[in-house]
Chain A
């Protein structure tokens, strides 16, 4: 029982990264902006937030700076995309390289090379009275504040997109921006806001890595998760409530493989790691009529 509880706790810790990233990508995608630059944004957010929290010895500042960096990149992305109508994917590729460079550059500039890796301040775990004693549920809940934040943001984004009028309009922008413009909605502004909010969640996921998972920064800390999340977003049909399921699925595979590596070196666990990616492609191939896309995704919006 204890073992299962520990496993669930670990999976939840990892699932938070994927869920936050995926929701970040989905929020942008709902208005038609496909943000493939997740890796770049995450890396910069990771390095800056680690430096800030290490120097100030306060984990909260780290997360706030992660969000800030994310939103700055979101602004940059949406400005270049909306103003110059540059292709989103080209821009995404450039920002990945920019982020890779910027993150390690900032880290080397401020922290430099040390003999022992600096360690970030510890993030407290929040216990809810009574619930923290229930065996299985406690694995999901006795966690750091960001996990709770992830649950809340999943709920809020589901509520926003499917229960409110503004959310419906915002979804409409992804489907048909011209029609929404005719109705009198400021399409460009909505796209800016969505991209910035989405990117700030990606930044938060970036900050999560050095502050909670590794407790220290190293180059390439994201391990390609920013691109994996694109797969989860598609797997989730661009629905925030399904993003969390996809996040847990990926995290489960990651944790189980990690455990397998510890148990035995001869099991070809690499093939297990391939499963999610191959299954995304197979799911897309089999259910291609059921997977929904915001129809305007990938296109810049031109008024004329």
Chain B
């Protein structure tokens, strides 16, 4: 059975210096590969690389779009990384994000006719978004505990369930926008929307608060300790009286909750309405990118994951500019990112084997 497999390559604890070295080597290898690819296609390599990096810092617009991409990416990286502390893969970040967003859309429309102050409604929506994403992920951990179904499979299946639920709401005559070409709801009532500060969305504040919360949860809380112990050695943890079922449940609840929160923020702060396909960027799911970001870091680090997410968003924004200015397809950056992550994982495995 899969659950016996040694998924020990998620959290390999190397020293930070080692880790930085590995990531640097991997970035250099993938950039060399990328440059060769660009050169073979007769594009200007230096210009392409500069565009890729500079776009995010060259203009305010570029910086803003980087931040907008970075926020959900960070949340979804945590959504993958926290369950991976107990050595389970949560591929359902995509589904949990959509589920949270769909539920809060329904709630926001339910309160449409009552004139509730934003100061009450928005925290309520954030709370509900977190809980619904978390409970949706808890289904996967419940299936693991009761039915021994590997979370990889159950989260993939639940992604499709969540996707269909989102289509149901966006095409429902109660919520749907009749003018829009593709499945979209009407704009949400204004009292449920978060504003922005000179274009930088307020959700970044919630991101900071969440990172502090994650830090506290992982390093200081009792459940965080139990999760860590369970991931370290599940049999030993059980023998020492740690409730491993509870540890698994909580890790999925927090991970899924963060994904749900990402979906909520995306709706109430960026889009202002539920759009089918909001959980994707540049044509691929945020969930997958989140997993890649978490794999770059290889653990739950409060500082490293936002940095890695920022780096990934810089590349994604740069790719858009690459298409505008040089006519190079956006998708070229996916190749760069995938090769980078494969490199990091391979090099990390080699380092780990040597010791």
Interface residues of A (CB under 8 A from B): 34, 36, 80, 84-87, 89-91, 93-98, 100-105, 108-109, 219-220, 224, 227-228, 230-231, 234, 265-266, 268, 270-271, 273-274, 277-278, 280-281, 284-285, 288, 293, 295, 297-299
Give the residues from 1 to 47 in chain B that come closer than 8 angstroms, CB to CB, to chain A: 1-2, 4-7, 9-10, 41
| A280 touching B157, Cβ below 8 Å | yes
B335: nearest chain-A partner, CB-CB? A101
Check B164–A97 contact: CB distance below 8 A: no
Selected from B283, B337, B338, the residue in CB contact (under 8 A) with A104 is B283
Across the A-B interface, give the 6 residue pairs with the lowest CB-CB distance, nearest first.
Answer: A101-B334, A98-B338, A298-B5, A285-B147, A108-B329, A270-B168
Whether the pair B9, A90 counts as a contact (CB closer than 8 A) is: yes
A44 to chain B, nearest CB (A): 11
- Known A80-B342, A104-B283, A299-B6; contact A288-B335, beta-carbon cutoff 8 A: no
Please give me the residue from chain B that is nearest to A36 by CB atom: B152
Knowing A36-B152, A230-B153, say if A89 contacts B89 (CB, 8 Å). Answer: yes
Partner of A231, one of B5, B153, B330, B331: B153
The answer to whether A109 and B345 have CB atoms under 8 Å apart is no
Cβ of A253 to closest chain B Cβ, rounded Å: 12
Contact, CB under 8 Å: B345 / A97: no
- Measured between beta carbons, the chain B residues less than 8 angstroms from A299 are 5-6
The residue in A93, A284, A299 that gathers the most chain B C-beta atoms within 10 A of its C-beta is A93
**Across the interface, which residues of A come within 8 angstroms of B160, CB to CB?**
224, 227-228, 273-274, 277
A101 and B5 contact, CB distance less than 8 A: no
**Chain B neighbourhood of A281, CB < 8 A:** 143, 149, 154, 157-158
Please, which residues of chain B bring their CB within 8 A of the CB of A100? 283-284, 331, 334
- In the complex, chain B residues whose CB is within 8 Å of the CB of A89: 7, 89, 152
Cβ contact of B331, chosen from A87, A101, A265, A277, cutoff 8 A: A101
Q: How far is the CB of A31 from chain B (nearest CB, A)?
A: 15
Given contacts A102-B331, A231-B156, 20 further A-B contacts (CB under 8 A): A85-B349, A86-B345, A87-B10, A89-B152, A93-B295, A94-B338, A98-B339, A100-B284, A101-B331, A101-B335, A224-B160, A227-B159, A270-B171, A274-B165, A277-B161, A278-B157, A281-B143, A284-B153, A293-B2, A298-B5
- 22 A-B pairs with CB atoms under 8 Å apart are A80-B342, A84-B346, A84-B349, A86-B346, A87-B10, A87-B345, A100-B283, A100-B284, A100-B331, A101-B332, A102-B331, A102-B334, A105-B334, A108-B331, A227-B160, A230-B156, A270-B168, A271-B164, A288-B147, A288-B148, A293-B2, A299-B6
A220: shortest Cβ distance to chain B, in Å? Answer: 7
The residue of chain B having its C-beta at the shortest distance from the C-beta of A268 within the complex is B168
Residues 102-152 of B contacting A (Cβ, < 8 Å):
143, 146-149, 152
Given the complex, which residues of A lie within 8 Å of B146, measured CB to CB? 285
Q: Are B332 and A105 in contact, with the CB atoms below 8 A?
A: yes
On chain A, the residues within 8 Å of B172 by CB distance are 268
Chain B window 164-180, contacts with chain A (Cβ cutoff 8 Å), 1 for yes, 0 for no: 11011001110000000
Chain A: minimal CB distance from B180 (Å): 15
Task: Assess whether B341 is interfacial by the CB under 8 Å rule.
Answer: yes
**Complex CA–CA separation, A139 to B92 (angstroms):** 38
Complex CA distance for A133 and B88, rounded to whole angstroms: 53
Q: What are the residues of chain B within 8 A of A270 when measuring CB–CB?
A: 164-165, 167-168, 171
Cα separation A224 to B162 with both chains bound (whole Å) = 13
| B237 contacts partner chain A, Cβ-Cβ < 8 Å | no
Given A89-B89, A288-B149, the answer on whether A97 and B337 have CB atoms closer than 8 Å is yes
> Which residues of A lie under 8 Å from residue B98 when comparing CB positions?
none
A220 vs B331: C-alpha distance when bound (angstroms): 12
Contact present for B334 and A94 (CB under 8 Å)? no
How far is it, in angstroms, between the C-alpha of A276 and the C-alpha of B301 when the chains are bound? 37
Residue of B nearest to A95 (CB): B338
What are the residues of chain A within 8 A of B342 when measuring CB–CB?
80, 86, 91, 94, 98
Asked whether, in the complex, the Cβ of B291 is within 8 Å of the Cβ of A93, the reply is yes
Q: In the bound complex, do residue A274 and residue B6 qualify as a contact, i.e. CB atoms below 8 Å apart?
A: no
B91–A87 CB distance below 8 A: no
Residues of B within 8 A of A109 (CB): 41, 329
**B76 on interface, CB distance cutoff 8 Å:** no
Q: Which chain B positions have C-beta within 8 A of A274?
A: 160-161, 164-165
Min CB–CB distance B291 → chain A (angstroms):
5
CA distance A108 to B328 in the complex (A): 8
Residue B353 at the chain A interface, CB threshold 8 Å:
yes
Query: In the complex, A164→B152 CA distance in Å?
Result: 33
Q: Are B1 and A231 in contact (CB under 8 A)?
A: no
A contact residues around B339 at 8 Å (CB): 98
